[in-house]
């Protein structure tokens, strides 16, 4: 189905809405009793929130009460509000209420640590931050350290205003600055600021307007084929976090566009996945590539096909396990490709047969998407020849549906769009049938369980250890996570590092020192970065592979990282990488 047809199909409920809130309000008016959010018992217990369904009508009423309180407190068009609410219902209500006022939301990953939070506050400069209680102190410290001085309130404040309508906006801190923009919010108004890792080591803030989200929902609502949605009938379950574009732009907006129900999980729990799917009565599941591997690892059960799922939508399934999953569990995993930057402007999905399961195929671009596969030398790749994928929207506006810009980084924005094409940094190949196959990532980014990790960001933290002379980080294959972080470490001489000289038991002392430093390096990262960015492997080497200009040879490093695990000097630290529990 073409983009025009997709928009027309979705228009039955969302009309020509100019904002996310307007699209939601149109669906709420048309289907007030239909379920919008479904909170499962398992999720309610972990979050400490009520279980059950929240209808479109009741959600709209709560959003309106919250919008009125925020407006009275002075929040308006052009303000940004940071949200650390995970996948709680409060996130959805806050997002919609703020969007109605023309405010942009800045979702915060609860796994971020001090250095990351400080950067985010200083860079995004939010007018307000809303957090679950257990994380609020960290946010206040980061806001103060950044100089932003952003007030941080507990989510209970918003929930009280949304649910009981007490009309006490005085419990909200007043906006410190007047609304930066005038007039009613529209399609080009910033709706969200999502951060994505890049090769510079600092996350880039992707400015995403309302149009980005609206087009994503309409694209999904009208894509058809094996991914066809059924207006008013579908229940979409997702364990993906609301800090990612998939959960916000595709899961949520597709259900708003079709009057369906979103079932957000707190995260992916392999042992309880199928019971959650059945309890939700899910017809669509969203997945990351790591999930099928974990589910296949469980013992086969007579209930493997006891569900109502028609298809899964995601990316990154291991080609070797793709067919086995579909055979065992009885529904197709429709592999797709997109980036935070591209949105629906250049999404590609394998949603029609033949899908070429097991070949890393993610389908052929629709006519509305222009693609070019470019060799390092600059020429266009031939059939089955890997090259970097360049994309743009067909027509007069090649950036339609894409992000607007990288916040405060016009140079990076211009570089990404050099020559009028968006340079994705992904290596793909086009087969003789015009189908695209994922090959590798050109950028120096590690992708672990769906999370992008910039190597230089991790390296900057590891270099703070007094015994580290030099360090370089690369991806190493992991059978479950896709990639794992591997750090190649060159230690300082013990005397230079201030440690005791080696004694008679020199070999034992070397091993003990390496074990200690490895633990300390992981602990250092866990203090400063999200847990998934810490090295799962720490390899001690005599020297790093360097180029003639004395820079790290990333190509050689990548090859080295493939073979180091299992060597005596490469220590497995994956057991130390643990996600902290959810706050209440």
Q: Is 548:463 a contact under the CB 8 Å cutoff?
A: no
> 238-252: b or e for each residue (b if 16 or more CB lie within 10 Å)?
bbbbbbbbbbbbbbb
Reply yes or no: is the peptide bond before residue 16 cis, omega within 30 of 0. Answer: no
DSSP calls for 258-310: HT-EEEE-SS--GGGHHHHHHHHT-SEEEEETHHHHHHHHSPP-TTTT-S---
DSSP summary character for residue 247: I
Predicted confidence at residue 316, as pLDDT, reads: 86
Phi and psi torsions of 497, nearest 5°: -85, -5
Q: Is 532:451 a contact under the CB 8 Å cutoff?
A: yes
pLDDT tens-digit readout, 387-407: 999 999 999 999 999 999 999
- The angle, 0 to 180 degrees and rounded to 10, between the axes of the packed helices 20-30 and 56-72 is 140
> Quick one: three-class SS letters along 208-246?
EEHHHHHHHHHHHHHCCHHHCCCCCCCEEEECCCCCCHH
CA atoms within 13 A of residue 149's CA, in its CB half-sphere: 5
Is residue 142 over pLDDT 90?
yes
pLDDT tens-digit readout, 66-102: 999 999 999 999 999 999 999 999 999 999 999 999 9
Fold of the domain spanning 447-576: GMP Synthetase; Chain A, domain 3 (3.30.300)
pLDDT tens-digit readout, 491-511: 988 655 555 444 444 555 889
Compute the distance between CA of residue 209 and CA of residue 215 in angstroms, rounded to an integer: 10
- Looking at the DSSP bridge assignments, the partners of residue 540 are 489
Is residue 164 over pLDDT 80?
no
Q: Give me 33's structure tokens.
A: 């009793």
Predicted confidence at residue 584, as pLDDT, reads: 35
Q: Where are the domains of the chain?
A: 3-430, 447-576
Give the global pTM. 0.83
Average pLDDT, the chain: 90
Mean pLDDT of 219-239: 97
Percent of the chain past pLDDT 70, that is, above it, reads 91
Predicted confidence at residue 170, as pLDDT, reads: 54
With tokens 């039955």, the residue in question is 12
Question: Among 1.10.10.10, 3.40.50.12780, 3.90.79.10, 3.90.1150.150, what is the CATH number of 3-430?
Answer: 3.40.50.12780
The dihedral over CA atoms of 403, 409, 413, 415, expressed in degrees to the nearest 10, equals -160
């Amino acid at each position: 189905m073409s983009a025009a047809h997709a928009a027309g199909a979705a228009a039955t409920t969302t009309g020509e809405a100019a904002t996310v809130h307007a699209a939601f309000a149109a669906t709420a008016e048309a289907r007030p009793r239909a379920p919008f959010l479904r909170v499962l018992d398992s999720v309610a217990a972990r979050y400490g929130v009520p279980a059950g369904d929240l209808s479109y009508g009741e959600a709209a009423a709560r959003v309106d009460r919250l919008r009125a309180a925020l407006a009275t407190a002075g929040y308006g068009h052009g303000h940004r509000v940071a949200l650390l609410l995970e996948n709680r219902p409060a996130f959805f209500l806050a997002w919609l209420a703020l969007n109605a006022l023309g405010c942009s939301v800045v979702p915060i990953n609860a796994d971020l640590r001090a250095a990351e939070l400080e950067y985010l506050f200083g860079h995004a400069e939010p007018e307000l931050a809303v957090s679950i209680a257990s994380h609020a102190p960290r946010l206040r410290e980061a806001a103060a350290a950044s100089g932003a001085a952003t007030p941080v309130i507990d989510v209970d404040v918003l929930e009280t205003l949304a649910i009981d309508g007490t009309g006490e906006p005085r419990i909200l801190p007043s906006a410190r600055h007047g609304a930066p923009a005038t007039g009613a919010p529209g399609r080009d108004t910033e709706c969200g600021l999502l951060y994505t890792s890049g090769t510079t080591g600092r996350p880039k803030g992707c400015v995403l307007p309302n149009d980005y989200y609206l087009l994503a929902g309409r694209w999904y609502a009208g894509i058809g084929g094996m991914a066809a949605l059924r207006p008013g009938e579908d229940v979409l379950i997702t364990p993906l976090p609301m800090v990612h574009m998939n959960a916000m732009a595709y899961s949520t907006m597709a259900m708003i566009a079709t009057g369906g129900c979103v079932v957000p999980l707190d995260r992916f729990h392999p042992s309880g996945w199928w019971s959650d799917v059945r309890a939700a009565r899910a017809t669509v599941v969203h997945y990351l590539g790591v999930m099928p591997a974990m589910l296949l690892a469980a013992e086969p059960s007579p209930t493997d096909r006891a569900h109502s799922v028609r298809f899964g939508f995601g990316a990154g399934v291991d080609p070797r396990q793709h067919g086995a999953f579909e055979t065992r569990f009885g529904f197709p995993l429709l592999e797709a490709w997109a980036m935070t930057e591209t949105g629906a402007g250049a999404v590609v999905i394998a949603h029609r047969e033949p899908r070429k399961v097991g070949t890393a195929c993610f389908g052929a671009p629709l006519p509305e998407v222009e693609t070019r596969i470019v060799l390092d030398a600059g020429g266009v790749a031939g059939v089955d020849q890997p090259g970097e994928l360049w994309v743009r929207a067909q027509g007069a506006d090649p950036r339609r549906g894409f992000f607007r810009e990288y916040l405060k980084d016009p140079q990076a924005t211009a570089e990404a769009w050099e020559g009028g094409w968006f340079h994705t940094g992904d290596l793909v190949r086009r087969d003789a049938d015009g189908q695209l196959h994922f090959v590798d990532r050109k950028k120096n980014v590690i992708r672990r369980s769906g999370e992008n990790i910039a190597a230089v960001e991790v390296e900057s933290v590891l270099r703070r250890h007094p015994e580290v002379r030099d360090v370089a980080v690369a991806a190493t294959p992991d059978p479950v996570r896709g990639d794992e972080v591997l750090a190649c470490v060159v230690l300082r001489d013990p005397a230079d590092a201030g440690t005791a000289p080696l004694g008679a038991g020199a070999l034992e002392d070397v091993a003990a020192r390496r074990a200690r430093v490895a633990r300390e390096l992981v602990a250092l990262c866990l203090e400063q970065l999200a847990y998934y960015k810490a090295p799962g492997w720490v390899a001690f080497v005599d020297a790093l592979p360097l180029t003639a200009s004395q820079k790290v040879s990333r190509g050689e490093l990548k090859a080295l990282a493939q073979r180091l695990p299992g060597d005596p000097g490469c220590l497995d630290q994956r057991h130390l990488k643990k996600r902290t529990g959810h706050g209440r």
